[in-house]
Amino acid sequence: MLKYVIKRELQHYLYSLVFQISFLLITAVFIVGTIAFLKSYDAKIQEYSKYNVEFTNGLKNTAESNASNLAVRRQTFVSKPRGNGFIADCKEKYLPNNFIHSAYNVFGFEVRSGSVNPFLNNFQELNWSFIVSLIMSFIVLLLTFDTISGEKESKTLAITLSNTISRGTLLWGKYISVIMVTMLMLIIGIILSILIVIISNKVALSFISVIEILYFILLSFFFISLISAFGILSSVIVRKSNVSLLIALTFWLIFVVIIPNSSMFSAKNIFSIEHSDDINEKVSKARDDINRNAPEGSWAASGGNPFLPEHELRADNQTNLMNSEMNIRNAYYQDMFRQLEKTRLLTMISPISLFEYMNEAVVGGGYLRFQKVWNDLHSFQPQFLQFFKELDANDPDSPHWYNPYENYSTTKKPVNFEQVPLFEERIISLEERFSFILKYLLVIVIYTAVIFFSSFVLFVRYDVR
C-alpha cells in the first residue's frame, strides 16, 4: 500500500509547478555558484602562494642572519584557501584567519585585513550549503505545506481515507516521497556542480573529497527530512491550505531570518564577555606592576656584549611580562570561544543554523578549522622552542638567557633554514569530523522524530470533512 501512495505522490510532485520552477532555479544556482567559486578560488590561491613565498623568504633571511631573531620573530600563519569551498565556505572570510606566534608563545588571532571588501554587504557564498539550507528548505516547505490541508480542500483526502489505508501509512508515504523528490533535485545539482569542478581542473578531487560529498548528501538528507516534517506539521495544524502556507512561511522566516540574525544580540547580552578595552587595561596594569617590582638594571642592554649581567634580569623581566600578558589574554580567548559555542548552541533551534554548523564538520572548515589550527599551533610552539634551545645550547657564545622578545642574550649564529621546523596546517581527519557530526546528527534525528510524531498525532485526529 505504501508503495502505491509513494508512486502517486511522486507523480503528483514531479508534474507540479513547484518542482519545475525549483528544478530550474536550483540547477541555475548550482552552476552559477560553482563557476563563481572556481573563479575566486583561483585568484585566492595565487594570492596565497605569493604571500607564502614572501613570508618564507622573510623567514629564511632572518634564519640565515640570526637564530635568535628567528625565534623571537612574530610569524603570521595564514590558513590556506579551501578547495572544497564549493560545498560550504563556513563564512571563513569573516572569521579570524591570521594566527600570530613565535617560538615562545602563540599570541593571538585576527581577521586578515583585506580578506573582505568593507564596502560590500555581508553575504553568503552560493555554495551547496547555501543552496540546501536556504533555497531547498524553502522549496521543501512549498512542496509540503498543503500535503494534508490541500488534499482536504480538493476533497481527495476523504476518498483516499475511505480505502483500507491507514492514516500512518498515508502520512509516511507522503513524507518519503517529498524527501525523494527533493533529494533527486539535489543530487542532479550536485552532479552538475562536480562535473564543472572536474572539467575546470582547478581543484583536485581526492578520496577525501568523495567522502566529504557523501557526508554532505547524508546530512542534507537528514536536514530535508527535518524541514519536510515541519512542512507536514504546518499542513496538519490547520484545515485551510492558505493558512498552512502562512504557518510554513513563518517557520521558515524564524529559522532563516530571526534566529540567525539575533545571534549577535544573544551573544552580547546573554553570554556577554568583558570588553577588549578592559582586557587591554588589565594587561597594561599587570605590565606596570611587573616593571615597578623588577630589580634595578632590568632594562639595561648592550648589543655588543651578550654576557652583560643585566641581560639575565632583562630576559627574566621580559618572560614575566609575556607570561602575565598571555595569562590574561588566554583566559579572554577562552571566554571568546565559550561565547561563540554557547551562542551556537542556542541558535541550533534553527535547523538552518544547525545544518550550517554540521557542514563545518563535513568540509573541515569554519570554527572547527580555526580551533584545530589554534590547538595545533599550541602544540607546535613548544617543539619550535625546543629546537631553538638545542641550537642555543650548542653555542658557547650564548649565555642561554631566554628572552622572548629580544635577541640580546641567546645565540646569534645563523641557522640552516632547512632544519627549521615550520608550522603546517593538518586537515581535520575524517574520524574527528565524524565524531563531531555524530553529536549534531543525534540532535537532528531527535528533532525530526519529535516534529514528525507531533504531525502524526495531529493527523490521526484530523477532521477530513
Partner 1 sequence: MIFSIAKKDFLLNLVSSRFVIGFLLCLFLIPFTLMVNIDDYSEQLRVYTLDKAQTDKNFKEVKVYSKLRPEIVKPPEPLTIFSGGISSNVGNRVKIWLGEKPLLATGKTAIRDNPLLNSFFSIDFIGIIAIVMSLLALIFTYDLCTGEKEEGTLKLQLSNSISRYKILLGKVIGVYLILLPIILFCYILSIIFILISPNIQFSAGDWGRICLLFLTSILFLSIFIFIGLLISTRSHSSRVSIIVCLFFWVFFIFIIPNLSVYMAESFIKVQSRDNLQYALDDLNREYGEEWDEYEKTLKRPDWGRHWNHSWGRDGYQELYGTSKSRYEYYRQSQEFKEPLRIDYADKKWAFQKAYLDELDKQKNLAEMISLISPSELFRLVCSAFCRTDVNSHYRFMDRTRIYREELINYFKDKKIFSSFSYFTPVPPETFMTADEIVRIRSGGEFKNNQEYREWVRNEQAKGTSMRSISASLGKVDIPETDPNAYSYLDLSDVPIFQLHFGDILTDLKECLFKISASILISILLFYLSFISFIKYDVR
DSSP state of 31: H
Q: Is 375 in the site for partner 1 (CB under 8 A)?
A: no
Closer of 325 and 356 to partner 1 (Cβ): 356
State the CB neighbour count (10 A cutoff) for residue 79: 19
d(CA 252, CA 254): 5
Task: Find the binder of partner 1 among 103, 267, 420, 451 (CB under 8 A).
Answer: 267
94 binds partner 1 (CB under 8 A): yes
Burial class (CB in 10 A: 0-12, 13-18, 19+), 60: middle
d(CA 192, CA 27): 8
Q: Answer yes or no whether residue 29 interacts with partner 1 by CB under 8 A.
A: yes
Restricting to residues 114-143, which ones interact with partner 1 according to CB under 8 A?
114, 116-126, 130, 134-135, 138, 142
Q: How many CB atoms lie within 10 A of CB 284?
A: 11
What is the footprint of partner 1 within residues 214-243 (CB under 8 A)?
A: 240, 242-243
When the beta carbons of 206 and 375 are compared against partner 1, the nearer one is 375
For the residues of 123-162, what is the DSSP string, one character each? Answer: ----SHHHIIIIIIHHHHHHHHTTTTHHHHHTTHHHHHHH
Q: Minimum Å distance from CB 320 to partner 1?
A: 24
Q: Which residues pair with 106 in a beta bridge?
A: 101
**Per-residue cell: 328:** 590574561
CA nearest to 215, candidates 92, 31, 125, 84 = 84
Task: Mark 153-192 with x for binding to partner 1 (rule: CB under 8 A) and - for no binding.
Answer: ----------------------------------------
Number of residues that bind partner 1 (CB under 8 A): 77
Is 247 a binder of partner 1 (CB under 8 A)? yes
Residues 350 to 369 in contact with partner 1, rule: CB under 8 A: 366-367
**Contact yes or no for 40/83 (Cβ under 8 A):** no
Closer to partner 1 by CB, 96 or 399: give it.
96
Q: Is 276 in the site for partner 1 (CB under 8 A)?
A: yes
Rounded Cα gap, residues 353 and 219, in angstroms = 13
Give the binding range for partner 1 (CB under 8 A) out of 26-34, 99-107, 421-429, 447-455.
26-34
Determine contact, residues 76/100, Cβ cutoff 8 Å: yes
- The secondary element (H helix, E strand) that includes residue 100 is strand 98-101
Q: Is 39 in the site for partner 1 (CB under 8 A)?
A: yes
Q: Which residues contact 149 (CB under 8 A, 6 or more apart)?
A: 235, 236, 238, 239, 240, 241, 243, 244
Query: Nearer to partner 1 by C-beta: 172 or 374?
Result: 374
CB neighbours of residue 142 within 10 Å: 20
Closer to partner 1 by CB, 35 or 208: give it: 35
CB 236 within 8 A of CB 454: no
**Of the two residues 260 and 414, which places its CB atom closer to partner 1 in the complex?**
260
CB-wise, 25 or 218, nearer to partner 1? 25
What is the nearest approach in angstroms of partner 1 to the Cβ of residue 157?
Answer: 16
Longest dimension (CA), the chain: 100
Closest distance of CB 361 from partner 1, Å: 15
Q: Which stretch binds partner 1 (CB under 8 A): 40-48, 56-64, 169-177, 430-438?
A: 40-48
158, 159, 191, 264: residue in contact with partner 1 (rule CB under 8 A): 264
> How near is the Cβ of 254 to partner 1 at its closest, in Å?
9
- Nearest residue (CB) to partner 1, 222 versus 332: 332
279-338 positions binding partner 1, by CB under 8 A: 336-337
Min CB(245)–partner 1 separation in Å? 7
